[in-house]
Amino acid sequence: MTRTQTRKSAMALAAVLAVALTGATGQAQDPPPPPPSPQTKPAPPPKPLVPVQVTVVISRYQGERADKRTGSLPFTLRVNANDRGTSVRMGSEVPVPTTTLTTPKEGATPVPIPSYSIRSVGTNIDCSAETIEGGRYILNLTISDSQVQTPQKETPANLPMGFQSFSSSHRLIIRDGETIQYTTATDKSTGETVKVDVTLNVVK
């Protein structure tokens, strides 16, 4: 056997011994794969859509104890919980008279010129819902309501019309079939009290 052949045989034998030693010590030949990073975790499945019916009642009361109801406006909204919200816009355009005095020529008596501007009055409601644990729901409710103010007995007849406005925004926790009166507000100029009742019912 030549020297070159002897060297090759020794190298082959060393390789065989290395493989045998690796198997004997139980060491893996390939490193284990790295654990998955938190960023690669699958996103939780989306919440299922649940159709609910939301009833909003805006009531107005007059009197020292707010016991005389003067008006009640019910609104019904169909909302898909865990989805986009629902909006309601209900109102009208009211002409508001204004008068401007003008003088046709110097020294003459001013002449009143009537004109009108338009103002929107009515009710705007935005509502969205989300399911949470325990069979409860979170209602995101925003209400804006305006109307022509009812003149009082002591109000002079020559005064221009007034407008009354009310707005509220709330994050409400409610159950199926429950009714909550979540806000009460009193107008300090007229003494009128506004109350808002909200009812949620799951649509079967």
pLDDT in tens, 137-164: 999 999 999 998 766 665 555 666 788 8
- Give the C-alpha separation, 27 to 16, whole Å: 16
CA-to-CA distance for 91 and 71, rounded, in angstroms?
Answer: 16
With cut-offs at 50, 70 and 90, classify the pLDDT of residue 60. very high
pLDDT of residue 43 exceeding 50, the answer is yes
State the Cα–Cα distance between residues 78 and 201, nearest whole angstrom. 10
The phi, psi pair for 11, rounded to 5°, reads -70, -40
200 pLDDT more than 90: yes
pLDDT above 70 as % of the chain? 75
pLDDT of residue 22: 53
Name the pLDDT band for 5 (thresholds 50, 70, 90): low
Type of residue numbered 166: F
Read off the pLDDT band of 45 (50, 70, 90): confident
Nearest CA to 174 out of 203, 144, 142, 131 is that of 131
Angle at Cα 59 formed by Cα 58 and Cα 61, nearest 5°?
A: 150
Model pLDDT, residue 24: 47
Contacts of 77 (CB under 8 A, 6+ apart): 53, 54, 55, 56, 86, 88, 125, 127
49: CB partners within 8 A, 6+ apart: 80, 81, 82, 83
Span 64-79, average pLDDT: 87
Q: Please tell me the predicted confidence (pLDDT) of residue 87.
A: 96
Task: Give the global pTM.
Answer: 0.68
For the chain, which residues make up each domain, given as ranges? 59-94+122-152+160-202
What's 157's DSSP letter? T
What are the pLDDT digits (tens) for 11-22?
666 555 555 555
Helices (H) and strands (E) in the chain, counts: 1, 8
> Which of 16-30, 51-65, 119-133 shows the lowest per-residue confidence on average (mean pLDDT)?
16-30
| pLDDT at residue 33, rounded to an integer | 72
Mean pLDDT, the chain, whole residue set: 83
Question: Which tops the pLDDT comparison, 67 or 77?
Answer: 77
Identify the pLDDT of residue 127: 97
